[in-house]
């Protein structure tokens, strides 16, 4: 009804539609005042019914009501006086309405807890100075056209000053809202702006004696009041896209600064224009300050953007930057490219043993070596942890494999840090676009599958073959199945005999774990031990293996076969301070001598943190458990450290036996190792004996024990007992510190 009444009133001001020109009691009196009062009532109704921002809208409703009261006083009383006074009774409610509008608008713009940044404050200053410079022009016009008493002049000037303050408050509030105009502020700001514009036009026309009643100027106040009434019932809505809002932050201060610059250029040189020039110059200066801060902010944002796409540790691209690079490459859509995923092997051992600082240093060095091998156009990134990724431009699968292998060779070269030598290795997975996948997520997943295959098969590098493993969740499901296997007794042990090379008797066995998978059959340890280490299952798995092995030893003892059993432990176990007490409990429950258990640990694992390893192994030896260094010769232990470590046995890696029958130098290495072990009071076990000739040479070199397929393959427990019975290989229980 309000909008309809307003439309009718606005149409009445169109020339030719009124019965006579000039002021109309019906149109400009009754209808206009009815619209103003109705608008105030609509806003007041909102304040009464809706609790949210009730006081804010109540102030605006009072302001509109006071303005309407002033209009009614003028319509009913002032205009009928022979010589209307200035100021009149109508000026009182007209002027008093401004403070209520100010308070309502300011309260409405409040954002509790919001932080107003530096740029918004500068924008508010620019807006205030610019609008003041523009307002000063019409102030000069008003002053030139105003005459009469001091009260008359002050009253006449109060309206443009009040309107200027109203616009400054509105602009400042919009600045606080980052120039985001939602539905409420769109209607409210437009209404207040139109209100100030109507007052300004009216004041200028009165000052220049050009005002005429009954024109399109008269409905402007009613339109402004109606807009504010509509704003009161609008809900807070979204104000457009974030990109538009971002540019809007610059539109308003830029427009005001350009306007001020135009005023500065066009202002006259008379004394009356001096305030305009001063305000315009101040506006331009504030605009320059704003531009400087904007440039500084842009530089900071660019820096933040670079940082957001850079790995803080290595200085390489991070996962986000790598994904963006691959997405751009896919969007280009021409030529093949490959993704290589690189995962460091046994990095957790370095991190846990030497500390996170050493681990971080190793990752940085790895990044440097990889970066040195990059070709132009390739993209290298650290995805996180010990995973790196490379985008190889214009590269097919086999070429990518060759590049990955060269990178692995680089990483195998020793890293020297603070006098400590660290060896590293890696497993690589290759996925080629678009054969493996046509999106970045699929490429990374398939490269990860290939990398996992390389790690499981110890092949170094693997290429994903389409259709080879379409189930991308297979590794995680495999881990879940492994957890179930640990609870459901799916793990079984096979035992490989250790034979005395001088006596041909069974001197002990090594327990080798197998997974009796309900679907895949019997799985070798290489297919699941890396996953157990990676996903924190190694401690639980080792406990299960120790339990099975010691249970079996106890059964063998009751069957008359006294033998020791060797169980492999990983770096996770070596760092477990509860391991000695756990081993003691397992032995005591079965009434077994500690000498029947040998714990094997690889040389690389043992030497990663010699101090901590020495402490733990000393505690194990204190309860009578023996310790063996597995794969001896492949790590980086020093002879001095070997002398200090509490170990009982060395197991010479199978690689030293290759060509021993043909290469005198290989025999010399084995002979020197045997002499070293015996001089330190240690037993030497040769792994990987494949031929009769190997066995004879090792016997001649005085090697103590041997393992290998030539002597015996790993056997299930019952088959091993039958094998030992057939050979008559029953050995006395091993001493705590066996000597050659």
Q: Are the beta carbons of 407 and 426 closer than 8 angstroms? A: yes
Q: Are the beta carbons of 518 and 460 closer than 8 angstroms? A: no
Q: Cα–Cα distance between 333 and 309 in angstroms, integer?
A: 23
Q: What percent of the chain has pLDDT over 70?
A: 74
β-pairing, 683-686 with 649-652? parallel
- Whether the per-residue pLDDT at 151 is higher than 80: the answer is no
Look up tokens 């060269």; give the residue: 406
pLDDT computed for residue 338 by the predictor: 92
Task: Label residues 289-319 b or e (16+ Cβ within 10 Å = b).
Answer: ebeeebeeeeeeeeeeeeeebbbeebebbbb
pLDDT digits (tens, 9 = 90+) for 114-123: 444 555 566 6
Rg (CA), the chain: 45
pLDDT computed for residue 127 by the predictor: 65
With CA atoms as reference, report the closest residue to 337 among 393, 399, 403, 402.
Answer: 393
pLDDT digits (tens, 9 = 90+) for 677-733: 888 888 999 988 888 888 888 888 889 999 988 888 899 988 888 888 877 654 443
Neighbours of 655 (CB within 10 A): 13
Q: What percent of the chain has pLDDT over 90?
A: 14
Average pLDDT rounded to a whole number, residues 278-292: 70
pLDDT digits (tens, 9 = 90+) for 516-535: 988 888 888 877 887 787 77
Q: Are the beta carbons of 270 and 200 closer than 8 angstroms? A: no
Q: Give domain limits for the chain.
A: 1-111+182-199+210-239, 116-176+242-307, 319-472, 478-727
> With helix as H, strand as E and coil as C, how does 228-296 read?
HHHHHCCCCCCCCCHHHHHHHHHHHHHHHHHHHHHHHHHCCCCHHHHHHHHHHHHHHHHHHHHHHHHHH
Q: Cα–Cα distance between 450 and 457 in angstroms, integer?
A: 10
Beta bridge partners of residue 628, listed in sequence order: 600, 649
pLDDT computed for residue 613 by the predictor: 75
Q: Identify the DSSP state of 708.
A: B
Spatial neighbors of 150 by CB under 8 A, at least 6 apart, are none
With cut-offs at 50, 70 and 90, classify the pLDDT of residue 737: very low
179, 190, 295 from 244: Cα distances, Å: 10, 20, 19
Average pLDDT rounded to a whole number, residues 429-444: 87
Q: Are the beta carbons of 723 and 584 closer than 8 angstroms? A: no
CATH topology of domain 478-727: TIM Barrel (3.20.20)
pLDDT computed for residue 470 by the predictor: 47
pLDDT computed for residue 245 by the predictor: 46
Q: Which CATH number does the domain 319-472 belong to among 3.40.50.1820, 3.40.50.2000, 3.30.70.270, 3.20.20.80?
A: 3.30.70.270
pLDDT computed for residue 626 by the predictor: 92
Same fold, 319-472 and 478-727: no
| Single pTM value for the model | 0.45
């Amino acid at each position: 009804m309000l909008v309809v009444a307003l439309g009718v009133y606005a149409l009445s001001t169109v020339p030719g539609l009124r019965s006579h020109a000039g002021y109309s009691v019906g149109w400009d009196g009754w209808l206009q005042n009815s619209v103003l009062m109705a608008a105030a009532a609509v806003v007041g109704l909102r304040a009464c019914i809706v609790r949210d921002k009730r006081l804010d809208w109540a102030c605006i409703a009072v302001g509109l009501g006071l303005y309407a009261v002033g209009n009614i006083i003028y319509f009913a009383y002032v205009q009928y006086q022979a010589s209307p006074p200035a100021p009149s009774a109508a000026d009182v409610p007209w002027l008093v309405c401004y403070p209520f509008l100010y308070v309502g608008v300011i309260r409405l713009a409040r954002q509790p807890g919001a932080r107003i940044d530096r740029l918004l404050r500068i924008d508010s200053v620019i807006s205030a100075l610019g609008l003041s410079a523009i307002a000063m022009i019409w102030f000069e016009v008003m002053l030139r056209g105003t005459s009469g008493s001091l009260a008359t002049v002050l009253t006449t000037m109060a309206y443009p000053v009040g309107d200027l303050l109203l616009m400054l408050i509105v602009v400042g509030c919009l600045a606080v809202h980052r120039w985001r105009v939602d539905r409420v502020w769109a209607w409210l700001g437009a209404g207040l702006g139109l209100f100030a514009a109507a007052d300004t036009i009216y004041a200028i026309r009165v000052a220049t004696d050009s005002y005429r009643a009954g024109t399109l100027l008269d409905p402007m106040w009613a339109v402004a009041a109606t807009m504010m009434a509509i704003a009161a019932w609008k809900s807070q809505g979204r104000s457009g896209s974030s990109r538009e809002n971002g540019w809007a932050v610059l539109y308003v201060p830029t427009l005001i600064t350009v306007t001020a610059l135009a005023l500065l250029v066009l202002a006259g040189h008379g004394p009356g224009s001096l305030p305009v020039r001063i305000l315009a110059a101040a506006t331009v200066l504030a605009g320059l300050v704003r531009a400087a801060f904007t440039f500084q902010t842009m530089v900071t944002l660019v820096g933040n953007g670079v940082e957001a796409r850079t790995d803080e540790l290595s200085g390489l691209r991070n996962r986000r930057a790598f994904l963006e690079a691959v997405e751009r490459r896919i969007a280009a859509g021409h030529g093949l490219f490959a993704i290589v995923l690189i995962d460091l092997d046994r990095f957790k051992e370095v991190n846990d043993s030497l500390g996170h600082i050493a681990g971080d240093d190793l990752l940085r060095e790895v990044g440097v070596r990889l970066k040195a091998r990059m070709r132009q156009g390739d993209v290298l990134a650290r995805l996180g942890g010990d995973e790196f990724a490379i985008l190889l431009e214009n590269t097919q699968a086999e070429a990518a494999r060759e590049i990955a292998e060269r990178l692995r060779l680089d990483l195998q070269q020793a890293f020297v840090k603070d006098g400590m030598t660290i060896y590293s290795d890696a497993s690589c997975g290759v996925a080629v676009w678009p054969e493996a996948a046509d999106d970045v997520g699929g490429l990374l997943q398939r490269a990860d599958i290939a990398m996992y295959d390389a790690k499981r098969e110890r092949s170094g590098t693997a290429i994903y073959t389409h259709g080879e493993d379409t189930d991308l969740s297979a590794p995680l499901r495999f881990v879940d199945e492994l957890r179930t296997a640990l609870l459901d007794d799916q793990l079984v042990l096979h035992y490989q005999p250790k034979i005395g090379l001088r006596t041909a008797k069974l001197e002990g066995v090594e327990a080798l774990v197998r997974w009796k998978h309900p679907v895949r059959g019997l799985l070798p340890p290489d297919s699941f031990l890396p996953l157990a280490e990676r996903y924190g299952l190694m401690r639980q798995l080792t406990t299960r293996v120790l339990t099975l092995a010691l249970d079996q030893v106890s059964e063998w003892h009751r069957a008359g076969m006294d033998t020791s059993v060797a169980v492999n432990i990983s770096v996770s176990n070596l760092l477990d301070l509860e391991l000695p007490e756990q081993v003691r409990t397992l032995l005591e429950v079965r009434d077994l001598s500690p000498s029947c258990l040998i714990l094997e640990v690889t040389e690389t694992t043992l030497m990663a943190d010699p101090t901590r390893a020495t402490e733990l192994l000393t505690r194990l030896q204190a309860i009578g458990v023996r310790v063996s260094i597995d794969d001896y010769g492949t790590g980086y232990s020093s002879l001095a450290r070997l002398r200090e470590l509490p170990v009982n046995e060395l197991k010479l890696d199978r690689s030293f036996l290759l060509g021993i029958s043909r290469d005198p130098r290989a025999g010399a290495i084995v002979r020197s190792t045997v002499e070293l072990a015996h001089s330190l009071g240690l037993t030497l076990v040769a792994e990987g004996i494949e031929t009769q000739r190997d066995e004879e040479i090792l016997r001649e070199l005085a090697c103590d024990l041997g393992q290998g397929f030539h002597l015996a393959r790993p056997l299930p427990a019952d088959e091993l007992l039958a094998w030992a019975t057939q050979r008559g290989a029953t050995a006395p229980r091993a001493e705590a510190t066996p000597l050659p």
